[in-house]
Amino acid sequence: MSTISCRSFDDIVNFAIKKEESAMDFYRQCAQRAKNPGIKHFFEEMVDEERKHRDMLKDLNPYGLEAFKLEKVEDLKISDYLLDVPFREDLTYQEALTLAMKKEEKSHAFYEAWKGKCLHEKTAKIFEILAQEETKHKRKLETLYDEEILGWD
């Protein structure tokens, strides 16, 4: 993966767009290779989620960052207790959820780490926004896992 600097808004946004497009490509390949129609559909939905992230980045205005409200997103931490799952064509739904949760967890950690390396407030805020978006996505996946795999009340 290429390197990134905190020098400019455009550098960070363009880097993040490439990262989201890479995630879209990964999930698209998973959808194409998955044998189970339900798993194919799950990965197609993941492509759509990453596309939303990319489009949000394309529309991000450097002068509107102050208006962007960060919200606290509860982390269920389910993925913290799961092992990485490599893609296989015959993944189960549980494995597909785990693969996606771990991918989102790593993206969040990546953006969190970069947030702390930026001296300029606006560039740090971009990484904070990106980290939040990954946390929201991870939360959505963990909720699915909790409801559909763990089945706790």
Residue pLDDT, tens place only, 24-50: 999 999 999 999 999 999 999 999 999
- Report pTM: 0.90
- The CA distance from 34 to 123, in Å, is 38
- The CA distance from 152 to 149, in Å, is 9
Residue pLDDT, tens place only, 68-86: 888 899 999 999 999 999 9
Phi-psi region of 86 (alpha: psi -120 to 50; beta: other; left: phi over 0): beta
Confidence (pLDDT) at 5: 66
The full DSSP string for 54-117 is HHHHHT--GGGGGG-----------GGGS------TT--HHHHHHHHHHHHHHHHHHHHHHHTT
